[in-house]
């Protein structure tokens, strides 16, 4: 990385602003009344070892995802949602995606090539940023894996553009997975989780924390999840080891080292082929297409992948945090971090039903896989450093919180890929639709290797200014420089001419206001922008394609409230987002500009303790999203982007201490509206409603719980990947398939904690 010139320029800007901490106008300190309004309830929650499946919205919790100013969710002029780890475990969520898709308007995809992909506010895939402990470790579609919830302290989701906080890729939202880590004064405890369920699913978690003398503390968690899967030959597993060691040599200085290792195999189920309705033995009412195709229940649990399929990864994330309390009003923080990952795929990924004898289709009615053989390797190394200074001061008699910082990231990413093109077709490439013989992958064909280097240097500033007792302003500013170098080599190692080097430089900013109608009821408004390169699709485009900076802007208004003497919390938000020049992946190795996108909608959440024993939580979202014309693309204008439902809704309710016994029972219902599966809007994924039952026998330090998920065994398609759908032109019969969601499952869990 080259810091020459940029380093001196940005450092001068920071020192200037440090001398005038009120110069950048911003937002508010928390109202003391607000902080105390639910103190008793929060204290009770903290004393409960085993959490409740309803929980609260955590409006009085500080959120590091929304700002670096120490603001709570109530003080932040944006929608920020916090899911506590105890709530995730009480609900039986085993993966991060389980927790995120419970939020209003969020839909999750679990395709093996992009595990735990999200749709938020009308945008999908790489337009949602995923952080690990508040740090960007790469494009979300490249780095997102099915992370185990046992290792997580909580998950924070910030809605809307956030490149002013985290840099590139933050258009529709930010998902921040925060692991459990050592804290000052941490008491000793040991946690155990054991679980077993249908399809031979097994869940194990073991954690320990405590002190090491008077000025050092530790935390370590290890978890393992594996299952045989609900489709033939679809074993998957995930092992996550996280740990941290905190040393505080003085009251003002602390040093923390953290490590996060994840190894996983996401399974080999790439979808169920669509077939003509007239040949289906048990047509499922889950999808409609303009070509009259259906998914067949007789093929529901069949796996069309090869027997030696590979879809796994290993990654290691290391960080070192230094904090120095310079005085009562100034804190210096520095985080040095390194991330490395190896990911590997080798699968027959694409399956198409042969309607006629043409090209590689040798028999009508077979499932052809020849063009679907694909191998892919990722070798990623990232090194970063973030330096921040926080200053609490007075500006014109008003309380001001100010932060300034520098962040530098250098990422080397090598992508190797191969297709089945030169190897002659064999009879095993076509399989019986109802009794497929898996076969083997066979000879590997390397198409090429593409090393990509991305270097980023950013300066950022934020301010929170308490203008009056009831009005606060929050502002942020970030300047980013990005150097991109992409090279392409063919299978023989000869460099091709379609590589490129690009340099980008841009500003991101936001301004928001929070008004306290009462100490516990606030209204807010925010306007923000985001500019960034094309994110993960940069690994797919070539030099002759236009991939300049995209431009996004959002305005949002909303209400947040803590009411019923702290027994209820609610949020309501309206947003409007526009983005130009969006790149979408259309095939395995290419992306295309599809014009702009616009989205607007309403989101609502509330949790309530109706009575001492009865809790209720609910959320709903309405989303109106569409493609817009741009200077580069027009044909999709007016269409709805794939995987964006107009309505989603969820309800949880539980009742505890039944018959004066430590027994709790509850139910949850989750509804997702119709969505389109493709950009032309010719494929509709039909709406579905999932009902889950749960019960728990719990005491202060243990819980035995049982869950039944998808109680009514509903068939549904949760997500569509457009490059695996209707890619079956007679000249290139590649893929036409969709993934079906999990049928009814059940699980028994045991949790135990020793303090």
Q: What is the pLDDT of residues 662-685, one digit of tens each?
A: 999 999 999 999 999 998 999 999
- Rounded CA gap, 259 and 220, in Å? 9
Average confidence score pLDDT of the chain: 88
pLDDT tens figures, 271-309: 999 999 999 999 999 999 999 999 999 999 999 999 999
pLDDT at 8: 39
199: left (phi over 0), alpha (psi -120 to 50) or beta: left
Q: What is the mean pLDDT of residues 705-722?
A: 96
pLDDT at 629: 76
- Rounded CA gap, 236 and 225, in Å? 8
Q: What is the mean pLDDT of residues 131-142?
A: 88
- From first CA to last CA, the distance across the chain in angstroms is 47
Q: What is the mean pLDDT of residues 127-144?
A: 87
507: left (phi over 0), alpha (psi -120 to 50) or beta: beta
Domain count across the chain: 1
In a domain, 67, yes or no: no
Domain hosting 119: range is 80-754
What are 67's two structure tokens?
């700002």
CATH of the domain at 255: 2.40.170.20
DSSP-derived letter for residue 425 is: P
Give the least confident one: 177-191, 523-537, 718-732. Answer: 523-537
pLDDT at 385: 98
pLDDT category at 541 given cuts 50, 70, 90 is low
- Rounded CA gap, 358 and 364, in Å? 9
Largest CA distance in the chain: 81
- Rounded CA gap, 738 and 685, in Å? 10
SS3 of 291-348: CCEEEEHHHCCCCCCCCCCEEEEEEEEEEEEEEEEEECCEEEEEEEEEEEEEEEEEEE
User: Taking the complete model, does pTM exceed 0.85, yes or no?
Assistant: yes
- Rounded CA gap, 668 and 742, in Å? 16
pLDDT category at 583 given cuts 50, 70, 90 is low
- Exposed / middle / buried, residue 547 (Cβ in 10 Å: 0-12, 13-18, 19+): buried
- For 234, how many CA atoms within 13 A lie in the half-sphere containing its CB? 20
What are the backbone angles phi and psi of residue 294, rounded to the nearest 5°? -140, 165
SS3 of 2-30: CCCCHHHHHHHHHHHHHHCCCCCCCCCCC
What are the backbone angles phi and psi of residue 337, rounded to the nearest 5°? -140, 155
Query: Does the pLDDT at position 27 exceed 90?
Result: no
- Rounded CA gap, 390 and 123, in Å? 33
pLDDT category at 34 given cuts 50, 70, 90 is very low
Find residue 141's DSSP bridge partners.
none
Contact 617, 606 (CB under 8 A): yes
Q: What percent of the chain has pLDDT over 90?
A: 70
pLDDT tens figures, 199-233: 999 999 999 999 998 999 999 999 999 999 999 99
pLDDT at 580: 78
- Rounded CA gap, 242 and 149, in Å? 12
Q: What is the mean pLDDT of residues 151-160?
A: 94
In a domain, 73, yes or no: no
pLDDT category at 170 given cuts 50, 70, 90 is confident
pLDDT at 144: 83
Quote the distance between the C-alpha of residue 467 and its chain's center: 35
In a domain, 57, yes or no: no
Quote the distance between the C-alpha of residue 188 and its chain's center: 31
pLDDT category at 538 given cuts 50, 70, 90 is low
How many helices, marked H, and strands, marked E, lie in the chain? 7, 46
pLDDT tens figures, 179-205: 999 999 999 999 999 999 999 999 999
Contact 222, 206 (CB under 8 A): yes
In a domain, 581, yes or no: yes
pLDDT category at 593 given cuts 50, 70, 90 is low
In a domain, 745, yes or no: yes
pLDDT at 581: 64
pLDDT tens figures, 380-428: 999 999 999 999 999 888 999 999 999 999 999 999 999 888 889 999 9
- Rounded CA gap, 5 and 11, in Å? 10
- Exposed / middle / buried, residue 466 (Cβ in 10 Å: 0-12, 13-18, 19+): buried
């Amino acid at each position: 990385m080259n810091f020459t010139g940029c380093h001196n320029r940005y450092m001068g800007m920071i020192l200037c602003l440090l001398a005038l901490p009120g110069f950048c106008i911003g937002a508010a300190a928390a109202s003391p009344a607000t902080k105390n309004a639910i103190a008793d309830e929060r204290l009770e929650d903290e004393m409960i070892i085993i959490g409740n499946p309803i929980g609260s919205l955590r409006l009085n919790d500080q959120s590091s995802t929304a700002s670096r100013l120490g603001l709570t969710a109530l003080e932040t002029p944006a929608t920020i949602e916090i899911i506590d780890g105890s709530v995730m475990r009480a609900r039986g969520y085993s993966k991060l995606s389980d927790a995120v898709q419970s939020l209003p308007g969020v839909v999750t995809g679990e395709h093996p090539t992009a595990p735990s992909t999200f749709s938020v506010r009308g945008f999908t895939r790489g337009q949602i940023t995923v952080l690990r402990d508040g740090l960007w470790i790469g494009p979300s579609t490249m780095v997102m894996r099915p992370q185990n919830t046992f290792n997580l302290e909580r998950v924070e989701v910030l809605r809307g553009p956030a490149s002013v906080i985290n840099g590139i890729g933050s258009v529709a939202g930010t998902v921040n997975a925060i692991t459990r880590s050592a804290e000052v004064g941490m008491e000793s405890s040991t946690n155990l989780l054991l679980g077993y369920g249908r399809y031979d699913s097994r869940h194990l978690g073991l954690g320990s924390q405590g002190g090491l003398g008077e000025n050092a503390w530790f935390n370590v968690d290890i978890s393992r999840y594996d299952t045989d899967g609900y489709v033939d030959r679809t074993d998957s597993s995930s092992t996550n080891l996280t740990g941290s060691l905190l040393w505080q040599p003085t009251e003002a200085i602390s040093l923390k080292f953290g490590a996060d290792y994840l190894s996983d195999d996401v399974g080999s189920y790439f979808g169920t082929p669509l077939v003509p309705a007239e040949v289906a033995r048990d047509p499922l009412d889950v999808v409609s297409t303009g070509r009259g195709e259906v998914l067949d229940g007789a093929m529901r649990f069949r796996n069309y992948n090869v027997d030696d399929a590979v879809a796994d990864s290993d990654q290691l994330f290391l960080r070192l945090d230094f904090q120095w309390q310079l005085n009562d009003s100034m804190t210096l923080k520095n985080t040095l971090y390194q991330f490395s990952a190896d990911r590997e795929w080798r699968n027959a990924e694409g399956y198409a039903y042969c309607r006629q004898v043409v090209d590689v289709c040798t028999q009508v009615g077979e499932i052809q896989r020849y063009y679907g053989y694909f191998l892919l390797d990722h070798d990623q190394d990232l090194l970063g450093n973030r330096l921040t200074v926080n200053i609490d001061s007075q500006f014109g008699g008003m309380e001001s919180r100010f932060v300034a910082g520098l962040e530098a990231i250098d990422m080397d990413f090598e992508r190797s890929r191969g297709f089945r093109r030169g190897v002659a077709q064999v009879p095993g490439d076509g399989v019986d639709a109802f009794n497929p013989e898996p076969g083997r992958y066979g000879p590997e064909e390397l198409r090429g290797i593409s090393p990509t280097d991305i270097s980023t240097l950013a300066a950022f500033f934020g301010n929170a200014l308490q203008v009056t007792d009831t009005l606060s302003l929050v502002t942020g500013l970030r300047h980013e420089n990005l150097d991109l170098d992409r090279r392409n080599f063919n299978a023989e190692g000869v460099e091709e001419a379609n590589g490129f080097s690009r340099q980008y430089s841009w500003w991101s900013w936001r301004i928001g206001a929070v008004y306290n109608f009462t100490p516990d009821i606030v209204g807010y408004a925010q306007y923000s922008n985001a500019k960034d390169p094309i994110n993960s699709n940069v690994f797919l485009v070539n030099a002759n394609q236009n991939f300049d900076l995209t431009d996004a802007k959002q305005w949002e208004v909303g209400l947040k409230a803590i009411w019923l003497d702290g027994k209820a919390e609610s949020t309501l938000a309206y947003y409007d987002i526009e983005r130009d020049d969006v790149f979408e992946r259309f095939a395995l190795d290419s992306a295309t500009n599809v014009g702009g996108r616009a989205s607007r909608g309403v989101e609502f959440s509330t949790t309530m303790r109706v009575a001492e024993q009865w809790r209720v939580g609910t959320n709903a979202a309405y989303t109106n999203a569409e493609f817009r014309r741009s200077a580069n693309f027009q044909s999709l204008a007016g269409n709805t982007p794939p995987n964006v439902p107009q309505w989603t809704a969820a309800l949880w309710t539980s009742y505890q201490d039944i018959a004066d016994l430590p027994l709790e029972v509850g139910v949850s219902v989750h509804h997702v509206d119709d969505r389109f599966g493709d950009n032309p809007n010719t494929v509709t994924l039909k709406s579905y409603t999932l009902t889950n039952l749960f019960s728990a026998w719990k005491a202060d330090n243990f819980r035995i719980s049982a869950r039944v998920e998808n109680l009514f065994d509903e068939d549904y398609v949760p997500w569509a990947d457009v490059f695996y759908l209707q890619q079956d032109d007679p000249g290139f019969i590649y893929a036409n398939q969709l993934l079906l969601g999990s049928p009814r499952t059940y699980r028994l869990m045991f949790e135990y904690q020793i303090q």
